[in-house]
Amino acid sequence: MNDEGVPSPGYRVSGKERVPGERWNSTTVSDMLASATYVGKHEVKANRGQDVIVREVPAIVTTALRERARRALSENRRMPVGRDGKPTRGRRYLLSGLIRCAVCGNPCTAHSATSGGKRWQYYACNDGRSGERPRRGPRGHARFLPAQWLEEVVWADIRLFLENPGETLHRVRQELANSDGTEELEERHADLTRRLAAKHKERDRYIRLCAQGYITEGELDAYLADLRIQTENLGLLLESVEADLARRRQETQLAASTEGMAYEPQRACTRDRGT
């Protein structure tokens, strides 16, 4: 867009014409990809974000094209590409798309820089670098990690596991034995889901009572304010349980795949001896 001389969206002050920006940047494009307005659905949040009003607007691009662009953006984060859309020919970053920040959970992406005539490669947390998601961790919480050092640490762990998988397999078996804990989380998730649905029905009932004249608008506002707090608390609890469930399932799946990977070479050796 910069090469073609197309002005960027820029900014607009209330009551005045929009002032185009000087250049396009990645944040502007990411914000556009994250917005559904360009595919014909304009969302307006009301009631302090509790209600979302969706209205139809003229679509600029198709939903399929938007999803294609979002998939490409996701793939680019995993494997950096150049301006021509092809993978960069520089250093191969072995951990691209495989590591996440321990503070905020965002993916860590590969970067390089030149300083003092020397090329530096490193991994860095993507928190705050993308316009698609708000910042999760405190500003400056993630340091730049030298790529060579981090990859050597990971390779050392892999070699240790391959040479002596006993300790890892012990932890894997413990993880599989504890996998039944998901039942309690699933029951809690179902209970919170039912309670949250009941609160939504309660909200609709209050609105009907006000429309029928049984309660005043002032009473309705008080009821809805209290109900909003209860709903927010239930929503936070539900998000926490969903995160625990996702983590438990991921750990169980990882444990099962790790055990299978560790035992497969032993089975192959046994088959070879038998033949």
Q: What's the confidence (pLDDT) of residue 152? A: 92
What's the rounded Cα separation, in Å, for the pair 52 and 21? 30
User: How many other CB atoms sit within 10 Å of the CB of residue 146?
Assistant: 13
Query: Cα separations (Å) of 81 from 93, 119, 161, 203, 238?
Result: 12, 18, 32, 49, 38
Task: For residue 7, give the DSSP letter.
Answer: P
Q: What's the confidence (pLDDT) of residue 265? A: 53
Question: The pTM is what?
Answer: 0.38
User: How many other CB atoms sit within 10 Å of the CB of residue 222?
Assistant: 13
Q: Which residues contact 34 (CB under 8 A, 6 or more apart)?
A: 131, 132
SS3 44: strand
Q: Residues 116-148: pLDDT tens digits?
A: 788 888 888 876 555 445 456 566 676 788 888
Q: Residues 48-77: pLDDT tens digits?
A: 666 777 888 999 988 888 888 888 877 666
Higher pLDDT, 182 or 132: 182
